[in-house]
Amino acid sequence: MSQRLIELLLDALTETLAMVGVSGLLATLFGVPLGILLLVTGPGHILPRPLFNRIAGLVVNATRSTPFIILMVGIIPLTRALVGTSIGTAAAIVPLVIAATPFVARQVEAALREVDPGLIEAAQAMGATPLQIVAKVLVPEALPGIAVGLTITVVSLIGYSAMAGAVGGGGLGDLGIRYGYQRFQGEVMAAVVVVLILLVQGVQSLGDGFARRLDRRHRAAEPRR
């Protein structure tokens, strides 16, 4: 592998990590509260708001069902208004956040649904408020599942960030398109694929390990019967 190729890979990897890191953090900040709201505002739950739940669910489903490449192109005016450009790493973060936020929300909602309803009923019987139930029952009990969902989200973001390279988003995908595809440099394309595979494997292993640790702590904290 030539020195030039190594430099290109390191630069592209840095851009990819920046895109995935920032968009993953923002998607988590927006998606976790949204996922909680999707659950607790549902029919028969602790804070039923049918109209809000229906509208939020429709928006989340519509965004999730839109192919990322179409979403990225469709919101170019919004991206340009927010970051001043429609190409590059900063521009790619906008559609990545919009695509990942509803995904995080559904992952969080699914994890929260696994919480034993008996725990919620016990908390309500003791006079806990909806906020207390969320903070002290739902989220702590669902943490391992939420960690798994966030890991899946980050892995998906790596794939989305590579796809963003097709429209000048920067990162490993852009490197593969410009050098591997357009200039017919097969070794560049192969190197990009290998780095992406290693990156996904690393993220998946770290996320699985963190989720297992949370699960062990949760089980250790459970009262013995």
In this predicted model, what pLDDT tens digit does every residue of 104-163 receive, in sequence order? 999 999 999 999 999 999 999 999 999 999 999 999 999 999 999 999 999 999 999 988
To the nearest whole number, what is the mean pLDDT of the chain?
Answer: 89
How far apart CA 90 and CA 39 sit, in angstroms, is 32
Q: How far apart are the first and last CA of the chain?
A: 60
DSSP-assigned letter for residue 45: S
**Cβ contact 96:157 at 8 Å:** yes
Domain ranges for the chain, please list them.
3-221
Contacts of 216 (CB under 8 A, 6+ apart): none
CB-neighbour burial class of residue 210 (10 A; exposed 0-12, middle 13-18, buried 19+): middle
How far apart CA 196 and CA 181 sit, in angstroms, is 16
How far apart CA 147 and CA 214 sit, in angstroms, is 8
Classify 129 as helix, strand or coil: coil
- Give the helix, strand, coil percentages of the chain, each rounded to 5: 85, 0, 15
Q: What is the CATH number of domain 3-221?
A: 1.10.3720.10
pLDDT for the residue 109: 96
Q: How many CB atoms lie within 10 A of CB 52?
A: 13
Q: Which residue is associated with the tokens 């590579």?
A: 162
How far apart CA 108 and CA 36 sit, in angstroms, is 7
pLDDT for the residue 167: 73
**Cβ contact 40:46 at 8 Å:** yes
Least confident of 45-54, 145-154, 213-222: 213-222
Classify 48 as helix, strand or coil: coil
Q: Which amino acid is at 131?
A: L
**Could you tell me the pTM of the whole model?**
0.88
Return the top range by mean pLDDT from 30-44, 79-93, 166-180: 30-44
pLDDT tier, 201 (very low <50, low <70, confident <90, very high otherwise): very high
How far apart CA 198 and CA 203 sit, in angstroms, is 9
